[in-house]
C-alpha cells in the first residue's frame, strides 16, 4: 500500500464528480453515487428523463429563462436530480439501497432529502453547498448525517 492512495471519501467523491460529466442540465452538472460496504451500488446524474429531449435540444432552461433562483421551483424543471436517478436505477435493477451512503457533488435539496429518509439511506456526503436549508434540517431530524467534505 502506498500513502498517496485517496481516502474512501475522496475516491467516491471523485467518481461522483466524473458521473456529473454526463449531466445534460444547462445550469448545474451534478453527479451522485450510492455506496454500501465500500461498493458502488448505483450512479446518477441530473438531466431529462430517458428518451426525452434534453433542455439544450429544446428551447433552453425554463427556470433560467424565468429568472428562478437556485433552489426554487423545482417542479418546472424538465430534469431529474442526480440523487433521484441513482435511487431510480437501484429500483429498476432490484438493488437494495437500505443502509447505503450517498456521495453527491452538490448538497441535496429537500425533495431528495425526503426520498433519502424513506429509502433508508444512512448518511450523505456532498462537495458543494446548495440554497436549501430545509433539506439539512429534515436530514438532521431524521438522524441522517449530512456532511460537506472538503477535498483537495
Give the three cell numbers for residue 137.
434540517
pLDDT of residue 76: 79
Q: Torsions phi, psi of 38, nearest 5?
A: 60, 25
pTM: 0.92
83 assigned to active site: yes
pLDDT along the chain (152 residues), means of 10: 85 97 92 98 95 84 85 83 97 98 96 96 96 94 95 68
Q: Is 21 annotated as a binding residue?
A: no
pLDDT, tens only, 35-44: 999 999 999 9
Distance CA 71, CA 91 (A): 26
pLDDT, tens only, 21-32: 999 988 899 999
Catalytic residue among 83, 128, 137, 141: 83
Q: Is 112 annotated as a binding residue?
A: yes
CA-based angle 11:13:19, to the nearest 5? 110
Which residues, at least 6 apart from 64, have a Cβ–Cβ distance to it below 8 Å? 26, 27
Q: Is 54 annotated as a binding residue?
A: no
CATH number of the structural domain 8-148: 3.40.140.10
Amino acid at each position: 500500500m502506498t500513502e498517496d492512495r485517496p481516502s474512501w471519501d475522496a475516491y467516491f467523491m471523485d467518481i461522483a464528480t466524473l458521473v456529473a460529466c454526463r449531466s445534460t442540465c444547462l445550469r448545474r452538472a451534478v453527479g451522485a453515487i450510492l455506496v454500501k460496504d465500500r461498493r458502488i451500488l448505483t450512479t446518477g446524474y441530473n438531466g431529462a428523463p430517458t428518451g426525452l429531449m434534453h433542455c439544450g435540444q429544446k428551447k433552453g432552461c425554463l427556470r433560467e429563462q424565468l429568472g428562478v433562483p437556485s433552489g426554487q421551483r423545482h417542479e418546472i424543471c424538465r430534469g431529474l436530480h442526480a440523487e433521484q436517478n441513482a435511487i431510480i436505477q437501484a429500483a429498476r435493477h432490484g438493488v437494495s439501497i437500505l443502509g447505503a451512503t450517498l456521495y453527491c457533488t452538490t448538497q441535496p435539496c429537500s425533495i431528495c432529502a425526503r426520498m433519502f429518509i424513506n429509502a433508508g439511506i444512512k448518511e450523505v456526503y456532498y462537495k458543494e453547498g446548495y440554497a436549501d436549508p430545509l433539506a439539512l434540517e429534515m436530514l438532521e431530524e431524521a438522524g441522517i448525517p449530512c456532511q460537506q467534505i472538503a477535498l483537495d
